[in-house]
Each structure stands twice: as C-alpha cells, then as structure tokens.
Structure 1
C-alpha cells in the first residue's frame, strides 16, 4: 500500500495535470483519484474480505465558495475567527485526511488548549487515518492562540487545525 506522503504527491500531480481519472490497485487495496468539473475527488478503499469497508473521503466544493479545483484550496475553508490575522500567527495544518482527536484517549486531557506554550516537537493532536493514529507536532515554538477544529471532526489535507503565536 502507498504511504500517506506518496498519496499526497499523487494528488498534487494529478491536480496539476490534464489527467481526469487515475486508479491504482495493489493486492487488496485500491486508490482512485478523479477530477470532475474543477473538483478533485479522492477515494481510498481496502477491499480485504476480513476488513470492514473504510470510509471514503470526498472533497467537494462548499456552497458560496469559488471552486478552485485543488484538494488544498478546497480543504482550506475560511473559519470565522475572533483572532485577528497576524503575521506572527502560524497555522498548524493537517498533513492528511482523517479524524482529529485532541487527546490520546477519551478519558485523557487534551494535548493542548488555548494559551498552552508549545515547542517544535510538542504533540498537539492526533489525526487518525486508515486505522493509524498519527501524532501531529507543533513545528514551531510559541503559544496556542486558537483551536480551529472540534474533537472527533473529519479534517482534510492542509486544513488549519491550530493558530500559534510564534516566539
């Protein structure tokens, strides 16, 4: 099976090319990328008989928004934010499509909250994709100003998760 980074690269390449549809099959896995009228659809399936079907994320344009045609621009939905946009604010974005979790388990405290000071290697959340739990690090040193997503929410590749005021 392809790694997440390889899938991301495929999405970018397909998006920039004139190819409308791409399918990759290997053993019991299948990945299908399809462009339709300036929107990119990504479908990832596991077809092993012993596994339950995997949820199929599909990127679709939001009502009232211009249709830009890339997974990245469609995933970057404008959020109503009480915090002013500032050059010192860094956006921690999701490196993959998956489910956002603010803590390691439902009983545990969240990794971070507004006002938490983080370092580059501080774990800020988990994004679960295809039954793999991926720890997301802050990548910058600073203070968490705002959490932009809810616990258990489905997130897209490139979607902002946190705003950090860099030191």
Structure 2
C-alpha cells in the first residue's frame, strides 16, 4: 500500500509536469492520475485480495504558482506570546466550511470558545469536525481551503 507522503509527492510531480495522465504500480497496487484543467485527480484502487474491495479517490486542487507559495511561507506570523495554535489532530484535507456554498465556520477576527467547531478535516472520506480547544479571537488562518494538512500542523492562531 502507498504511504500518504508517496502519493503527495507523486501528485506534486505530476502537477508540475506536462504529463496529462499517469499510472504507477507498486506491490500490486496501482495509482492512476489524470489532469483535468488545473486539478490532479488521483485514484488508488485497493487490492482485490484485501478484505472488501474499495476505491479511494482523492481530488487535489493544484497548488498556487511557485512564486506565490514562498511569499505565504515567508510572511512573518503575528508575533505575540498570547497566541495559541489550533492544530490538526489528523492527516487529511482542510475545509473551512461545511459545504462549498456555505459560509466559513470562522474568519479572522471572529471570537471562538472552547468546543466551537472551527473547520473540518477530511480523512478517508470521513468529515471530522475540529473544535477549538482555546477561548479567544482568530488572528490568522494558516492553511487554505482544500489544502492537505499533517498531524499536529497549526491551522489557526488564536489570541487568548
């Protein structure tokens, strides 16, 4: 089975290349990727010998142009000792709202209290509501909608 990091690396490589369609086989598992406009669609069918046969389809929106990404990363985060982080409890895809046409759970400047839902992290087609563990004001949203996030990755900065 492929590790999530291997799949991410493959998606990045395909996204940065001129290839429109790609298929990769490893240990009896196959990943097929096709570009459609500015998106890379990755499909990884499970092995037939495993428990139930299932297909995992992940849709990843292409990253911003290379000139834009470093600017966001180099942007100095708000420096304050009172800032606390709301972190991702799992690897998955970050969504700031319950559906594409719904308003975001929280925006910069909103007040949050402990237990308030601030976002969703999708992992294995399960949408997990992430609750704030702190009381305060959202100072900065550190990830973009649809972005893959790692376990423990900061999602929001909150001023206590």
Partner of 1:107: 101
4+ residue runs of structure 1 moved beyond 6 angstroms?
Answer: none
Q: Can you give the 5+ residue segments of structure 2 that lack an aligned partner in the other structure?
A: 1-44, 59-71
Root mean square deviation of aligned Cα: 2.1
Partner of 2:91: 97
Structure 1, 152-161 or 82-91: larger mean CA deviation: 82-91
Contact 1:100–1:151 (Cα < 8 Å) also in 2: yes
Which aligned pairs between 1:1-167 and structure 2 lie closer than 5 A? 47=47, 50-53=53-56, 79-166=73-160
Cα deviation 1:12-52 (Å, max 9, x = unaligned): xxxxxxxxxxxxxxxxxxxxxxxxxxxxxxxxx95455421
**Displacement, 1:87?**
1.4
The secondary structure found in structure 1 opposite 2:109 is coil
Structure with greater strand share of residues: 2
The total of aligned residue pairs comes to: 100
Q: Can you give the 5+ residue segments of structure 1 that lack an aligned partner in the other structure?
A: 1-44, 56-77
- TM value normalised by structure 2: 0.57
Contact 1:92–1:161 (Cα < 8 Å) also in 2: yes
Larger Cα-atom Rg: 2
